[in-house]
Structure 1
């Protein structure tokens, strides 16, 4: 516990903001939106933490020929970086815009699916949830301003099949975020356990612990089905296939 706090303070003391010099040195840029991560102008990949070591490692590992073609502090490098920045700006379309009604509806559907999962509720209850929300809003509505909100709620897709698709998307995003964090970590450790799901299929629970540049994190990395007897060879094979 004390070690975690000490390391967190040590990292926080370092320069956590993006240094503009890193753009020319490592071809990275920091987007302006909230909670953004540094983006490589060459391959468009991101790194989890805005730390010079992470950017330098990515650049030297994946783009080692860049400094050969475009030596540091040369005019050729400056022109190339300017071209990459311009291309990134056009591709990303850095224009702030408000969410459309359809995007808000989709976001609401994802939030509802996420809430049902957190409370371990069946997706078949989602339509009941929607009916409850509409009923409450109609009772609270005292003027016409609520009519648009009620109409938007009615448009939110909350069928069982829709929620199943939503949760699949959420699960993929959560797992990708964990995997990206592990890839950026210098070291990580694994812990495994066995559990049984509601269909009586044994599941290998894989937990990972790593340092993300700010603090130690412990996350569920994967659930791997165990169809056969649980032996050391089978467990090792499952982990080997996953990685």
Structure 2
């Protein structure tokens, strides 16, 4: 039995599957990997959350970068990998998706928003940092351009930011707690397209394995968690998931 057949059998026999995704699944949709050598964070130093809060200049630079990035990310669509995961959800095999990605492509693929646990937030909308009122990017763009006027919350006057988790910003407690619970209750845990080096998110697959789940890692490169995995596939993600879910 080859690796793909083995994975297909594991999926078939499992009832509590949880998927964990990282940047590797979205690069196949044309979205750059921020952290890799030559990536955007190497060319542009990330703006720390404390700097964003303290400096209007930092906030303006953050919004400039955001709208420049939208020219790259704005046309991204779910790929074969996202669609294969959505098929597992439709079949009732998949409890939820835990993701480090901020692009909203799992939701676009058909998985309901409430079953996508976003550990690092979402870049497709903005929100007030005080009252959490949601704001569309079109609204922000209309305010910001062309004179770079900073958006403020229309409800409470608070600072508005993309709904992502920045460097120095606390991880979302509710999402982290739910991710850990889902990992503990899973019987098969698929870690897909993640280098598994960004903590605390990278602890989630380990927690699943420690509580008895079979851990599958699908990533182009080896990870430090490979030794505790049931199965490791160093393959292209979209093609691999598409084949496995159709076996």
Shorter-normalised TM range: under 0.3
Looking at both structures, which has the greater relative contact order when contacts are Cα pairs under 8 Å and sequence separation is at least 6? Answer: 2
- For normalisation by structure 2, the TM-score amounts to 0.22
Q: Work out which of the two has the higher radius of gyration on C-alpha atoms and give 1 or 2.
A: 1
